[in-house]
Amino acid sequence: MTSLEDLGIDFEELDIEGIKKKFPFLDTRKYFPVKLPDDPGFAEPTGDVVDGAIFIPESGHISDPQLSTHNLQRAAEARGGEFIFNAEVVEIRKKDGKVAGVTLKDGTRIDAPIVVNVAGPHSYIINRMAGVEEGMNIKTRALRQEVCHVPPPDGIDYQKEGVMISDGDIGCYSRPETGNHILVGSEDPACDEREWVDPDNYDKNFSKQWTAQVLREAQRIKGLRVPNQMQGVVDLYDVSDDWIPIYDQSDLPGFYMAVGTSGNQYKNAPVVGAMMAELIDKVEAGCDHDRDPVQFYMKYTGRTFNMGFYSRLRKINPDSSFSVVG
């Protein structure tokens, strides 16, 4: 709450009566610690009420990520950017100890004095191609995730009445989804198995994890049912060792990274783009970012940010949630 106050973000502390008034469809009982359905005591309340909630009316979500990325594509093209789709990078080329460009699977060679790794779950593969992973204290891996789409309880227009909920008590986040559905994901509690995978070869079918997440969410949303037909998405997160991104240079001059974004940095993309542009400009002009980190001025909050926080050389941050929450 201190951070919200410092940044001037409106919020409201809700007690139990406040939660019930704003969101009468929520069960306010406590269920922590988070459990799996086959654990003893699953779905049995461990307390009469949760400790409360923080309501942030300015917060939200992007319901159509494909449209939003398409908008970014068009904005980049308007400034001279070009896109090549369905093209696999097979080599990060070097010359005279610096990055020289990339080679695609079809043999196309793209010369470039600057290459930025924004490969998502494939980020570690690209770092290995560039030969920079050995010099990183914080590394990345691909984590398999299941996200559930379920209909709301009868009589609730969830797109109108629902909100984005981060619920550490049941270990799930949820939000309204198009078509009057509810999207449910895991907040990666200790009981949920973490499945690190090859991003080019992993199981895209739903598993018992899907059911576990929906049953946990049913503890919070009154009348939520588990449909017979599993719907949703099975895909990947790009996760760093402490679930905090790496926005940094590398040991290969001209090769930069914006990786390890772990499912929680999507709406930060415009700011990250501005940060990376300034980082690249300053490092290419001679700044020793590893010893004297770039300080990035955030024009909307009027604050200066130490980009060394996202260094590949940092120690694991003990204050991280070590989850999608960041």
The reply to whether 46 and 72 lie within a common domain is no
Cβ burial of 214 (10 Å; 0-12, 13-18, 19+) is buried
The reply to whether 107 and 195 lie within a common domain is no
The reply to whether 154 and 224 lie within a common domain is yes
The reply to whether 107 and 145 lie within a common domain is no
Predicted local distance difference test score (pLDDT) of residue 61:
86
Residue-range definition of the domain harbouring residue 231: 2-59+141-240
Predicted local distance difference test score (pLDDT) of residue 219:
97
The reply to whether 54 and 152 lie within a common domain is yes
Q: Which of 179, 206, 240 is the last residue of a domain?
A: 240
The reply to whether 220 and 149 lie within a common domain is yes
pLDDT in tens, 188-200: 999 999 999 999 9
The reply to whether 149 and 233 lie within a common domain is yes
pLDDT in tens, 95-108: 999 999 999 999 99
Percent of the chain at pLDDT exceeding 70: 100
For tokens 């995730």, what's the residue?
Answer: 145
Q: With 80 as the cut, is the pLDDT of residue 1 above it?
A: no
User: Reduced to 3 DSSP states, what percent helix, strand and coil does the chain have, rounded to the nearest 5?
Assistant: 25, 25, 50
CA 115 to chain centre: 23
- The pair of structure tokens assigned to 275 is 């940060």
The reply to whether 256 and 287 lie within a common domain is yes
Quote the CA–CA distance of 89 and 228 in Å, as a whole number.
Answer: 41
Look up the CATH number of the domain holding residue 114: 3.50.50.60
Domain count, the chain: 2
Predicted local distance difference test score (pLDDT) of residue 65:
87
| pTM of structure | 0.94
The reply to whether 132 and 148 lie within a common domain is no
Q: Which of 218, 240, 262 is the last residue of a domain?
A: 240
Q: Is residue 192 part of a domain?
A: yes
What kind and span of H or E run contains 46?
Answer: none
The reply to whether 71 and 172 lie within a common domain is no
Look up the CATH number of the domain holding residue 206: 3.30.9.10
Q: Is residue 323 part of a domain?
A: no
Nearest Cα residue to 63 out of 153, 159, 150 = 159
Quote the CA–CA distance of 115 and 108 in Å, as a whole number.
Answer: 16
For tokens 């060394």, what's the residue?
Answer: 308
